[in-house]
Amino acid sequence: MEPTINRGLDGINIDTSQICSIDGMKGELIYRGYDISELADKVSLEEVIYLLWEGELPDRQQLDAFRQELSELFTVPTEVIDIFRTLPKDAHPMHAMRTAVSALASFDENPDDVGAANIRRIGAKLVAQFPTFTAAFERIRNGQEPIDPDPGLSIAGNFLFMLSGERPSEAATKVMDVALVLHAEHGTNASTFVARATASTLTDVYSAITAAVSSLKGPLHGGANTAVMQTLEQIGSVEGIEPYVLDTLSQPGGRIMGFGHRVYRVLDPRAIILKEVSRHLAQESGDSKWFEMSLEMERVMDREMARDGKQIKPNVDFFSASVYRMLGFPSDMYTPIFAVARISGWMAHLYEQYGDNRIMRPRLIYEGPMGRAFKPLGER
Ligand code: ACO
């Protein structure tokens, strides 16, 4: 019988999971039984992390205790922050982030124990510290001193505070919180799969998360939000969108960043919400350029993809780009922001993986030569 090959692991179920359900035909994303559109509207990131990790939304007391636990962990070891001072100013923030996660392992009192209590301890630490070191790198590369976290602020509020040094408005904090909730979890996407596959050797959490950060960086995955903004900046105007899209699609393998998804055949539910956030920010700020350009790109892509009989729609990265732009972030920070959110989903998956592990070991079909006659070095 011919062996089956599922390139890109397309359609392969690697295990069962209790965390997240995605229906790509209906455009449905569910965290632990709750629809993402309801969560994005009604709960904070901290509640979502608790839900992803514990399986239930917290009551008031549980939420207060969880917030307290995280706030006590916000501060990153000075030695790790000092590594940023030695990096070139033009280092990519995702390289800096990967370095920070890896370095944190060496400053942890018990990095290698993958028992449930220890990985939960490390998970809380990573969720609390991702925003702190991301903001610290941003400031250091701009010649500014990092700002200490404020234990009284939420993850979203603190992140904005540590970037600017100013108390963020309630409206900006809410937008940041919604964006982080929407990016917190998404099943066995590439980086989560990488985290689980790495953990399946029973290596430590820091190694698994370092690998996940590395995977997220790629432009076909979390790096697409940066690529979307770089594309919009390069085009520069609404009028330039159509010629750009037509030209790109006419090239062999030409891709428009922020469109397409392995699972969704209809609009990504996160893109629907982010589109409205982007529309709202454009109206509020009076700077509608990036939103208008995004709408035009969506329109032209819809027409062109329908012509080719393809269901290629905007994904989560598409409208998040204009949202982050209007919040004032530089474009190479967009993927680190994604990681600040996704660390919670990665950790939820690591709790499952370490809790009931089997090493991941897929196969390749060998198609190379066989039975070759060996020649010693001098005869080749
Ligand atoms: N622009 C133009 N055409 C596209 C795009 C796109 N963005 N995405 C897919 N297509 C076309 C492909 O050319 C292909 O056409 P073909 O069958 O004629 O060759 C068809 O749609 C299927 O594409 P695949 O690459 O086979 O789809 P796959 O599931 O392997 O890839 C991916 C999914 C990587 C997301 C792809 O759609 C892509 O490259 N998108 C752009 C990058 C991007 O936005 N990534 C972020 C994804 S969301 C996330 O990771 C957070």
The atom of ligand 1 lying closest to the CA of 255 is 1
Question: Residues 80, 107: contact at Cβ < 8 Å?
Answer: yes
Ligand 1 neighbours (beta carbon < 6 A): 8, 189, 220-222, 224, 255-262, 310, 312, 315-317
pTM for this predicted structure: 0.97
Cα 20 to Cα 28: distance, rounded to the nearest angstrom: 11
Structural domains in the chain, sorted by start = 20-218+333-355 (1.10.580.10), 224-326 (1.10.230.10)
| pLDDT at 316 (0 to 100) | 96
| 3-class secondary-structure state, position 84 | helix
Cα 346 to Cα 186: distance, rounded to the nearest angstrom: 9
Beta strand 28-31 with 20-23: parallel, antiparallel or unpaired? antiparallel
Residue spans of alpha helices (H) in the chain = 36-42, 45-54, 60-71, 78-86, 93-106, 116-141, 155-164, 170-183, 190-199, 205-216, 224-235, 241-250, 269-285, 289-307, 316-326, 334-355
Amino acid identity at 264? Y
Q: What is the pLDDT along the chain (380 residues), one digit of tens a residue?
A: 888 999 999 999 999 999 999 999 999 999 999 999 999 999 999 999 999 999 999 999 999 999 999 999 999 999 999 999 999 999 999 999 999 999 999 999 999 999 999 999 999 999 999 999 999 999 999 999 999 999 999 999 999 999 999 999 999 999 999 999 999 999 999 999 999 999 999 999 999 999 999 999 999 999 999 999 999 999 999 999 999 999 999 999 999 999 999 999 999 999 999 999 999 999 998 889 999 999 999 999 999 999 999 989 999 999 999 999 999 999 999 999 999 999 999 999 999 999 999 999 999 999 999 999 999 999 99
Cα 99 to Cα 117: distance, rounded to the nearest angstrom: 25
CA proximity to 112, closest of 205, 212, 194, 200: 205
C-alpha of residue 34 to centroid of ligand 1, in Å: 28
> What is the secondary structure of 140-180 as a DSSP string?
HHTT-------TTS-HHHHHHHHHHSSPPPHHHHHHHHHHH
Residue whose CA lies nearest to ligand 1 atom number 8: 260
Residue whose CA lies nearest to ligand 1 atom number 29: 262
Residue whose CA lies nearest to ligand 1 atom number 47: 221
Query: Which of 10, 267, 312, 337 to probe ligand 1 with, by most ligand atoms within 8 A of CB?
Result: 312
Query: Which of 246, 310, 313 to probe ligand 1 with, by most ligand atoms within 8 A of CB?
Result: 310
Residue spans of alpha helices (H) in 251-288 = 269-285
C-alpha of residue 93 to centroid of ligand 1, in Å: 25
Tally Cβ neighbours within 10 Å of residue 379.
6
Cα 99 to Cα 136: distance, rounded to the nearest angstrom: 13
| pLDDT at 3 (0 to 100) | 86
Both tokens assigned to 86: 């030695």
Both tokens assigned to 16: 């069962």
Residue whose CA lies nearest to ligand 1 atom number 50: 221
| pLDDT at 2 (0 to 100) | 84
